[in-house]
Amino acid sequence: MIEARAVVVRADATAVWVKISDPVTGCGRCNEPGGCGGARIAHAFGRPAEAFRIENTQGFAVGDAVVLSIRDGAALGAAIASYGVPTIGAVCGAALATWLGGNAVAWIGLVAGLVLSYAVTRRMARMRGWKQQLSVSIRTDAGDCPASRAQP
């Protein structure tokens, strides 16, 4: 399991919004000589989301410390679906169009392959089994007991 500690920053009856309290930025060598600068690359296209929405099945409240968990391999599966399916769709579409009509129509095939792969990934996202595989579980952080915050 991949786990991260978070704090509930907003809550309603059906969902909570959590903010990761100990964000990890890869190897931690971003500012050292020889570091890859992965965190800087991640921020190059905008600021990452501050809070994530998760179903509130356990009645969490604002300020609760929680632990988020995702199955091992789920992130890899999501990356393959997000990047692999469109790449394969684009290459296959361009190759098929080139075979059928030459280089002049390769771009049409590439775009058609991307559109088809977009439809496939959207359909995958709506599938129940796929959602269960990518689901994030949430539980109370062992170091934070809600009963200890009870008013006397």
Of 53, 47, 61, 57, residue with least CA distance to 19: 53
Which of 28-32, 96-100, 140-144 shows the lowest mean pLDDT across its residues?
A: 28-32
Mean pLDDT computed over every residue of the chain: 77
Structure confidence at residue 20 (pLDDT): 81
Q: What is the mean pLDDT of residues 125-142?
A: 68
Q: How many residues can be counted in the chain?
A: 152
Structure confidence at residue 12 (pLDDT): 87
Beta pairing, strands 65-70 & 52-55: unpaired
